Amino acid sequence: MKFVIWDPGQTKSSELQSECNEAAWLQKGRSLKEKEARLHQLISKLSSMYPQHTEFLKYLHRSDGDESVPTIYVITPTYWRPVQEAELTRLSHTFQLVPKLHWIVIEDSNTTTKLVGDLLRRSLLTYTRLHVATPQAYKLPANPKLSWVHPRGVLQRNLGLQWLRTNLDAEKQKGVVYFADDDNTYDQALFEEMRSTKTVSVWPVGLVGGLLVEGPLVEGGKVVSWNSVWKRHRPFPIDMAGFAINLRLLLNHPNVAFKLKAEIGYQESLLLKEIVTISELEPRADNCSKVLVWHTRTEAPKLDQENNGSYIFQPNLPCFKKWSVREGVEVGIVQINSVTVSFVFLPVL
We find the least distance from the C-beta atom of residue 297 to ligand UDP, in angstroms, to be 5
Check if the beta carbon of residue 129 is closer than 8 Å to that of residue 116: yes
The contacts found for 229-234 with CB under 8 angstroms, 24 or more apart, are 230/265, 231/265, 231/266, 234/265, 234/266, 234/268, 234/269
Secondary-structure percent of the chain, ordered helix, strand, coil, rounded to 5: 35, 20, 40
Specify the residue, 141 or 315, whose C-beta has the smaller distance to ligand UDP. Answer: 141
Specify the residue, 100 or 152, whose C-beta has the smaller distance to ligand UDP. Answer: 152
Check if the beta carbon of residue 170 is closer than 8 Å to that of residue 259: no
Question: What dihedral do alpha carbons 163, 164, 168, 172 form, nearest 10°?
Answer: 170
Interface pattern 161-190 for Mn ion (x via CB under 5 A): --------------------x-x-------
Helices and strands (DSSP H and E) totals, the chain: 10, 15
Check if the beta carbon of residue 72 is closer than 8 Å to that of residue 101: yes
Q: Which of 79, 103, 186, 258 binds ligand UDP (CB under 6 A)?
A: 79
Specify the residue, 19 or 183, whose C-beta has the smaller distance to Mn ion. Answer: 183
- Of the candidate spans 42-50, 73-81, 91-99, 254-262, the one that interacts with ligand UDP by CB under 6 A turns out to be 73-81
Describe the crossing of helices 13-27 and 32-49 by its angle, rounded to 10 degrees. 170
Q: Which of 90, 152, 234, 284 binds ligand UDP (CB under 6 A)?
A: 152
Residue 113 contact partner, candidates ligand UDP, Mn ion, none, CB within 5 to 8 A by sort of partner? none
We find the least distance from the C-beta atom of residue 181 to Mn ion, in angstroms, to be 5
Specify the residue, 168 or 240, whose C-beta has the smaller distance to ligand UDP. Answer: 240
* Sign of the alpha-carbon torsion through 197, 200, 204, 209: positive
Specify the residue, 77 or 283, whose C-beta has the smaller distance to ligand UDP. Answer: 77
We find the least distance from the C-beta atom of residue 266 to Mn ion, in angstroms, to be 17
Q: Which of 77, 160, 204, 242 binds ligand UDP (CB under 6 A)?
A: 77
Which residue minimizes CB distance to Mn ion?
183
Closest among 215, 245, 210 to 227, alpha carbons compared: 215
Q: Which of 19, 36, 85, 183 binds ligand UDP (CB under 6 A)?
A: 183
Applying CB under 5 A, the site for Mn ion has a residue count of: 2
Q: Tell me, what amino acid is at 268?
A: E
Query: Can you tell me whether residue 191 is helix, strand or coil?
Result: helix
Check if the beta carbon of residue 153 is closer than 8 Å to that of residue 77: yes
Specify the residue, 42 or 158, whose C-beta has the smaller distance to ligand UDP. Answer: 158
Residue 153 near ligand UDP by CB under 6 A:
yes
We find the least distance from the C-beta atom of residue 205 to ligand UDP, in angstroms, to be 11
**Catalytic-residue membership of 268:** yes
Q: Which of 60, 65, 75, 78 binds ligand UDP (CB under 6 A)?
A: 78
Catalytic residue among 87, 107, 193, 268: 268
For 155, residues 6+ apart whose C-beta sits below 8 A from its C-beta are 108, 132, 133, 134, 260
Catalytic sites, residue numbers:
268
- Positions touching ligand UDP (CB under 6 A) are 76-79, 108, 134, 139-140, 152-153, 156, 181-183, 297
